[in-house]
Amino acid sequence: MKIYTKTGDEGLTSLFSGTRVPKNHSLIEAYGTVDEVNCLLGILLCEPLSENLKTLITRLQHELFDLGADLATPLENNSSASKIKRIQTENIERLETEIDQMQAILPPLKEFILPGGSKASAILHFARTVTRRAERALIDPSIKGLINPKALIYLNRLSDWLFVIARLANFEVKRADITWNKNFSSSFQT
């Protein structure tokens, strides 16, 4: 497979259907942002993690490729749609089940927490915020009926999943979540 095609040199790219769109099109922005999340998960996998976390993260990376293909194939394109795996209710329900399972292990959350604790947790929080950006990029295509509605729900649930697994990453290495102290910033006098 040739890496460079020169077809994008003037700021256009192709959706899976072959339709040419500007590289700043909201669908390109959305699946490009999903790719960023996947890269962050790749960085995370370079860190020491439990086998459980590695398995969950690796599965998620594969699923994010499915999501990218889903987003790159607008709903009106039926010929290409049969070639890709769309996000389904089952994908969302699995995230919800895993959130519930992780929550059952973790101490109850009583306060807002700051990203961090361990490096793995910080990377997961970063992935969570990038996921939120992907979700925001999908609002316009969703309103226009261009995308699988389950994709938007999936991204919303994924950001929740990443939040909880970030807490689990801290828990597994016995690092406490860093709670937000609303009075902390006012203790600094200039």
User: CATH number for the domain including 28?
Assistant: 1.20.1200.10
SS3 179: strand
Element (H, E) at 56: helix 51-71
Domain-embedded: residue 110: yes
Domain-embedded: residue 44: yes
Distance CA 113, CA 181 (A): 9
Range of the domain at 164: 12-187
The mean pLDDT value for 8-25 works out to 74
Structure tokens at 175: 């690092």
Inform me whether the pLDDT recorded for 187 exceeds 70.
Answer: no
Domain-embedded: residue 18: yes
Are the C-beta atoms of 111 and 173 separated by less than 8 Å? no
pLDDT digits (tens, 9 = 90+) for 71-103: 998 787 555 556 789 999 999 999 999 999 999
The mean pLDDT value for 117-142 works out to 96
Question: How many domains are contained in the chain?
Answer: 1
Domain-embedded: residue 31: yes
* Average per-residue pLDDT for the chain: 89
The pLDDT confidence band at residue 48, using thresholds 50, 70 and 90, is: very high
User: CA torsion angle for 143, 144, 148, 150 (degrees, to 10)?
Assistant: 0
